[in-house]
Amino acid sequence: MRSYRSAEWAGWFEAAGTTCPPVTGAIFDSSIALAELAASGAGAALLPVAMFEGWITLDRLAQPFGVTVNIGRYYLAWPSDRQSSPAMRVFTSWLTGK
Protein backbone atom coordinates (compact mmCIF):
# COMPACT_ATOMS: atom_id res chain seq x y z
CA MET A 1 0.00 0.00 0.00
CA ARG A 2 1.20 3.47 -0.69
CA SER A 3 -0.01 7.01 -0.74
CA TYR A 4 -0.17 9.26 -3.75
CA ARG A 5 3.09 10.86 -2.53
CA SER A 6 5.35 8.78 -4.76
CA ALA A 7 8.63 9.49 -2.93
CA GLU A 8 7.50 8.52 0.59
CA TRP A 9 8.89 5.01 0.66
CA ALA A 10 12.16 6.03 -1.03
CA GLY A 11 12.59 8.79 1.59
CA TRP A 12 11.91 6.38 4.43
CA PHE A 13 14.39 3.80 3.14
CA GLU A 14 16.98 6.53 2.64
CA ALA A 15 16.48 7.70 6.24
CA ALA A 16 16.86 4.06 7.33
CA GLY A 17 20.17 3.90 5.45
CA THR A 18 19.21 1.28 2.90
CA THR A 19 18.05 0.94 -0.68
CA CYS A 20 14.38 1.14 -1.50
CA PRO A 21 13.02 -1.89 -3.34
CA PRO A 22 10.52 -1.40 -6.16
CA VAL A 23 7.29 -0.11 -4.62
CA THR A 24 4.07 -1.39 -6.13
CA GLY A 25 0.51 -1.82 -5.03
CA ALA A 26 -2.63 0.19 -4.66
CA ILE A 27 -2.35 3.96 -4.25
CA PHE A 28 -4.48 5.76 -1.66
CA ASP A 29 -4.98 9.46 -0.97
CA SER A 30 -6.11 9.02 2.63
CA SER A 31 -3.98 8.33 5.71
CA ILE A 32 -7.08 6.97 7.42
CA ALA A 33 -7.64 4.46 4.61
CA LEU A 34 -3.99 3.38 4.76
CA ALA A 35 -4.19 3.04 8.56
CA GLU A 36 -7.41 1.00 8.40
CA LEU A 37 -5.90 -1.34 5.81
CA ALA A 38 -2.66 -1.76 7.79
CA ALA A 39 -4.64 -2.36 11.01
CA SER A 40 -6.65 -5.07 9.26
CA GLY A 41 -3.46 -6.84 8.17
CA ALA A 42 -3.40 -5.79 4.52
CA GLY A 43 0.22 -4.59 4.64
CA ALA A 44 2.51 -1.88 5.92
CA ALA A 45 1.86 1.84 5.63
CA LEU A 46 3.84 5.02 6.16
CA LEU A 47 1.69 7.18 8.42
CA PRO A 48 2.14 10.36 10.45
CA VAL A 49 3.01 9.07 13.93
CA ALA A 50 1.40 12.05 15.70
CA MET A 51 -1.87 11.40 13.91
CA PHE A 52 -1.98 7.72 14.89
CA GLU A 53 -0.37 7.68 18.37
CA GLY A 54 -3.69 6.58 19.85
CA TRP A 55 -3.90 3.64 17.48
CA ILE A 56 -0.32 2.67 18.41
CA THR A 57 -1.10 2.99 22.15
CA LEU A 58 -4.15 0.76 21.71
CA ASP A 59 -2.03 -1.79 19.76
CA ARG A 60 -4.23 -1.27 16.73
CA LEU A 61 -1.10 -0.32 14.80
CA ALA A 62 2.58 -0.99 15.50
CA GLN A 63 5.56 1.24 14.81
CA PRO A 64 8.22 -1.44 14.30
CA PHE A 65 11.06 0.98 13.58
CA GLY A 66 12.14 4.27 15.10
CA VAL A 67 12.90 5.78 11.69
CA THR A 68 10.66 8.72 10.84
CA VAL A 69 10.68 11.19 7.97
CA ASN A 70 9.13 14.61 7.60
CA ILE A 71 7.09 14.66 4.41
CA GLY A 72 5.40 18.00 4.84
CA ARG A 73 2.92 19.88 6.90
CA TYR A 74 -0.71 20.80 7.05
CA TYR A 75 -1.83 24.41 7.04
CA LEU A 76 -4.75 26.05 8.76
CA ALA A 77 -6.39 28.50 6.37
CA TRP A 78 -9.56 30.56 6.21
CA PRO A 79 -10.83 33.48 4.11
CA SER A 80 -8.88 36.67 4.81
CA ASP A 81 -12.08 38.73 5.00
CA ARG A 82 -13.50 36.58 7.80
CA GLN A 83 -12.89 37.51 11.42
CA SER A 84 -11.68 34.78 13.73
CA SER A 85 -14.45 33.54 16.01
CA PRO A 86 -13.85 32.55 19.64
CA ALA A 87 -14.13 28.89 18.59
CA MET A 88 -11.57 29.42 15.83
CA ARG A 89 -9.16 31.07 18.28
CA VAL A 90 -9.50 28.16 20.73
CA PHE A 91 -9.02 25.64 17.89
CA THR A 92 -5.99 27.49 16.52
CA SER A 93 -4.47 27.67 20.01
CA TRP A 94 -5.02 23.94 20.54
CA LEU A 95 -3.67 23.05 17.11
CA THR A 96 -0.51 25.13 17.43
CA GLY A 97 0.07 24.51 21.12
CA LYS A 98 0.22 28.26 21.79
Bridge-partner residues for 27, per DSSP? 2
CATH of the domain at 20: 3.40.190.10
Bridge-partner residues for 28, per DSSP? 3
3 vs 32, higher pLDDT:
32
Decide if pLDDT at 73 tops 80.
no
Range of the domain at 61: 2-96
How many domains are contained in the chain?
A: 1
Phi/psi at 63 (nearest 5 deg)? -110, 90
Taking residue 63's Cβ as centre, other Cβ atoms within 10 Å add up to: 13
Q: What is the pTM of this model?
A: 0.70
Query: Quick check: 65 and 16 in contact, CB under 8 A?
Result: yes
